[in-house]
Structures are given as structure tokens and as C-alpha cells.
Amino acid sequence: MLTVEHLESGYGHMQILWGVELAVAEREVHVLLGANGAGKSTFFKVLVGLLPAWSGGVRIHDRDITSLSARERVKLGLGYTSETGIFPDLTVDDNLRISALALPSVDRKEAIEAAYGRFEELKSRRHDLAGGLSGGQRKLVAIARALVVKPAVLLMDEPSSGLSPRYVTEVVERLSELRGTTTLVVAEQNVSFLDIADSVSVLEGGRIKFSGSKGAFSNNEALRNAFFGLE
């Protein structure tokens, strides 16, 4: 479903990503673990077309999308939500409507209502400013925005950012409901997201240090301790 081959990129003359490779199967939940500064956000920006690749390639459904614009990637089924992921000064409804602009006009209303059907608590807040919601609700708006375009692959960058442990647990639970409906790649440093993972990779210094099943990661005590101090 999603294949990344020897991807290198950065900002100006500063290289951030060094030969990153990743393969995520259809409808798999993959968690990309890494500390702050590991290169996770840069990696996702290259995948979605917000930052150019210096070398290497990105493929979805065996189609090379490396040179496509961000909008063209969305049309091919690539969804993305950043650490913030919302327009705080707009209503919840307007946030979803903006995302729906990537769809044909005849499909927009249905897609928005489907998002509300998945997140019923947002429907009653649809006319409220997104920035006035709780941290957990804002994350749900960000997820709903990404789902409006019905992505085949959904990239989520640090969904735990700024959340209390209670809301982290809620977001993990809500993401678990997406299992089997889309290919989900979550970039995180919070290991709570391992609960929903099928496979795991570890990014450090812009390089993949491990990639394999969740079981293989869990059984690698040296790796767990070296990167995350897990017991």
C-alpha cells in the first residue's frame, strides 16, 4: 500500500532524512516511533508533498507519487493530519467543509455527514469554534478532517501532542476503531500507541533503526531500553 524507498530530504543545506525506507501493508496500523527531533514530521511532510524529496521515492498502490503535488496525492487517497490539524478560528463544520473541497462537489455533503456519524460528539458542536473545544475534541476534529477525504492511507503526526493522559487514551481508543478501514501510519513518541500497532519502526537521527512487527519490537529488550527506557 505505502512504500518508501531510500528517501532523503531536508531544509536548505541541512539534511534531515538519510535513506529512509518503509513498507506498510494495506489496512495495517503502523507506528513510527521517535523522540523529538528524530525527523518524523519532516518525513511526513515529504510523504504528503509539503517538502520535496532530494532522492528516493514514495509509492501508493504501486504508483510513484514522489513528484506529485500535495493536492494530487490527496486525490490518490493520501490523508494527513499534523500536530495541530485544525483551523481554530473556524467552526467545526467549516473545518470539515474545507477538507471536503478536495472531493467532487457531489460527494462532499455525504463525506461530511459520514465524519459526523463516526464522531457523534462533534455533531452537536458543529457550529462551535474548533479552537474553543477541549484538547481531546480538537484532536477528533483533526481526525475527522482527515477522514472526510476517505483516505486509503492516513498519516497522523503526533496525535498525542498537547494532550493529557486521559485524552491520549481516548484518541488511542478512537484510532483503534479505524482498524480494517484504512492504512494508518502514526508518528509518535508516546508508546501508548503501540497498543493499536500491527508493525513498528524506530526513527533516530533521520534514519530507520528498526522496522518489523510489534512482537519483534516488544521482544527486542536492548532496542526498547536504548531508545525509550522501556521495561
The span from the CA of 4 to the CA of 121, in Å, is 36
pLDDT of residue 174: 85
CATH superfamily of 2-77+151-224: P-loop containing nucleotide triphosphate hydrolases (3.40.50.300)
Which sequence spans correspond to the domains of the chain?
2-77+151-224, 89-144
Cell numbers found for residue 155: 498519516
What pLDDT is attached to residue 231?
44
**What pLDDT shows up at residue 141?**
93
Where does residue 39 rank: exposed (0-12), middle (13-18), buried (19+ CB within 10 A)?
buried
Q: Say how far apart CA 196 and CA 209 lie, in whole Å.
A: 21
Number of Cβ atoms within 10 Å of the Cβ of 69: 11
Please report the pLDDT score of residue 110 as a whole number: 93
Please, is 208 exposed, middle or buried when counting C-beta atoms within 10 Å of its C-beta (0-12, 13-18, 19+)?
buried
Which stretches in the chain have pLDDT values below 70?
A: 224, 226-231
> Three cell numbers at 168?
491520549
pLDDT of residue 6: 97
1: amino acid identity, one letter: M
